[in-house]
Structure 1
């Protein structure tokens, strides 16, 4: 795995978030936007590098996948399987 820096958000996403916030003054930004603005690259890929082999197909960033899991739990979006 080659650690990669997190990309900057697309300009159209930045404009959309700003437009929604301007229209609904007083409403907060979405949780992922607030976390990125305050904490930046929370789970850097380099922190996970030792857990992955040097060969094989490139996968998704483990740091971003970890953060997605945190957001899913925070927003109660996890899948619950019946027992």
Structure 2
């Protein structure tokens, strides 16, 4: 990993940890696969820190630009998931 996570310096340490955990789950969905329950829980916690859809989209684009991993595509696959695990195709 040669990129940094998009974070807001106004967030508390716990909030930064929550956002980083969510982005780690996005990475995991691409690299190894992640359980649907794990990604749902990470997203719920993320939305407590980032309730704004506009900010969520901005952070998602920044993360995708830096990493190549799309939070939008992972969440779209999660919404339509018929299995207990999500594994994105590279």
* TM class, shorter-length: under 0.3
- Higher helix residue share: 2
